[in-house]
Amino acid sequence: MRVLAAMSGGVDSAVAAARAVEAGHDVVGVHLALSRMPGTLRTGSRGCCTIEDSMDAQRAADLLGIPYYVWDFSERFKSDVVEDFIAEYSAGRTPNPCMRCNERIKFAALLEKALALGFDAVATGHYAKITTDASGRRELHRASAEAKDQSYVLGVLTAEQLAHAYFPLGDTPSKELVRQEAERRGLQVARKPDSYDICFISDGDTKGWLAEKVGEAPGDIVDRTGAVVGRHDGAHAYTVGQRRGLHLGTPAPDGRPRFVLEVRPKQNTVVVGPKEALAVAEIAGSRFSWAGADPVASGLVARAREAFACDVQIRAHADPVPATAHVAPGPGDESELVIVPDRPLDGVAPGQTAVVYVGTRVLGQCTIDRTVSAVPVDA
């Protein structure tokens, strides 16, 4: 099998490439250049895809004896990830840029180019497993190591993308074992720290970065009744669940702290309220997809709009919550995936991704468009 190994410069992708070589595949390494100005990307342990990461990937490829290339995906990354991030925040939503990068760069643009060049699969260092059901359809499942499971950020993958995805680390019980293997193989990245945070915000100041991109527009902070309780410099700087930095001029009648419940960009207002009002009884999104067979083809329901039992996860490291889900007509012309958790979810924001599981299998996902509070306004 001809395998294109996406090499980020970290230990996971290096070991994944090594395992692909060891399995007898014809492997070529590629590093994605996501910015033409590398100084705008975070460096060290706080980012990925920088010049130092490219050099680390090069050294790993040389040690493995495989061809290595750097592909310029900067324009695609800017339009599909960075500009999407700005647009989502401007619309009052809280996006996950890593989900968009997996969806539109690593398993869309990269896979498209790989297939055009005759590769059979793209290998990455993600901790997730792909299995095949009795009908020969591929399924995405959680990794063996739950603490390192990354199936959530892969929930955006489609059946076609799963057909050409390869995750060599899926059966590895722990990250420490991967580091030990890297040391045995002589890979210099064996103890390189994990990357985290948003790679294209070099100093980590998301609020300041957004202010430069979209400008500041002062507006009102209101409570759930609409009463003005403070002012803000720009609604884009606030996220659902935020408590610090509100600077409210009017204290709550009961003296308790208040949290951001909603961001309304059209009205340029931020809605605040008590912590219990963050509880959400229902979420829904029209931008949904299935990771392989849909609920009907999977045998979960007999008809497309029937409800089925599942688990829902709303953050990469959140615990899954039992729920029911179904496809229903949305507010517009599009259908939406509606998810009703067995117990309220805490601090869910439009723009986040809800990934639906059946057991260990990733069934699909939706970008959350709307939420229904579990607490009435007059409560």
Its domain, for residue 346, covers 279-373
Residue 6 among known ligand-binding residues: yes
Look at the pTM and tell me if it is higher than 0.75: yes
Side chain identity at 183, as an amino acid letter?
Answer: E
Kindly state whether residue 345 falls inside one of the protein's structural domains. Answer: yes
The per-residue pLDDT for 46 is: 46
* Residue 125, marked binder: yes
Please give the pLDDT value at position 39. 53
Task: Tell whether 355 is covered by a domain.
Answer: yes
260 in a labelled binding site: no
What does the pLDDT average to over 181-192?
Answer: 95
pLDDT at 378: 59
User: Could you write out the three-class secondary structure of 39-59?
Assistant: HHCCCHHHCCCCHHHHHHHHH
- % of the chain at pLDDT higher than 70: 94
Which of 98, 199, 310, 366 is catalytic? The answer is 199
340 marked as binding residue: no
Amino acid 45: pLDDT: 43
199 is catalytic: yes
Last residue of a domain, one of 135, 164, 185: 185
What is the model's pLDDT at position 51? 80
Asked if residue 38 has pLDDT above 60, the reply is no
Pick left, alpha or beta for residue 62 (phi over 0 → left; psi -120 to 50 → alpha; otherwise beta).
Answer: alpha
Do 233 and 321 have their domain in common? no
199 is a domain residue: no
Q: Given this model, what pLDDT does residue 14 score? A: 97
Considering the domain boundaries, does residue 125 fall inside one? yes
pLDDT digits (tens, 9 = 90+) for 160-186: 999 999 999 999 988 999 999 999 999
Give the mean pLDDT of the chain. Answer: 89
How far out from the chain centre does Cα 61 lie? 27
Q: Angle of helix 175-185 relative to helix 11-22, nearest 10 degrees?
A: 70
* Annotation says 48 is catalytic: no
CA 354 to CA 357: how far, in whole Å? Answer: 10
Same-domain pairing of 59 and 140: yes
Whether residues 17 and 134 fall in one domain: yes
Asked, for residue 202, whether it belongs to a domain, the answer is no
With both helix axes pointing from N to C terminus, report the angle between 83-90 and 206-214 in degrees, rounded to the nearest 10. Answer: 90
Q: 110 is written with which tokens? A: 């990269």
Summarised one tens digit per residue, pLDDT across range 202-221 is 777 787 888 788 777 899 99
Do 53 and 117 have their domain in common?
Answer: yes
141: nearest Cα among 379, 363, 313, 328: 363
The pLDDT value recorded for residue 217 is 84
Nearby residues of 283 by Cβ (< 8 Å), 6 or more positions away: 312, 314, 338, 339, 341, 345, 348, 354, 366, 368, 370, 371, 372
The verdict on 122 and 229 lying in the same domain is: no
**11 annotated as belonging to a binding site for a ligand:** yes
Catalytic residue among 48, 49, 98, 101: 101
Domain CATH number, residue 266: 2.30.30
Give the pLDDT of residue 359.
96
Task: Give the CA angle between residues 204, 350, 319 to the nearest 5°.
Answer: 80
pLDDT band at 298 (very low <50, low <70, confident <90, very high): very high
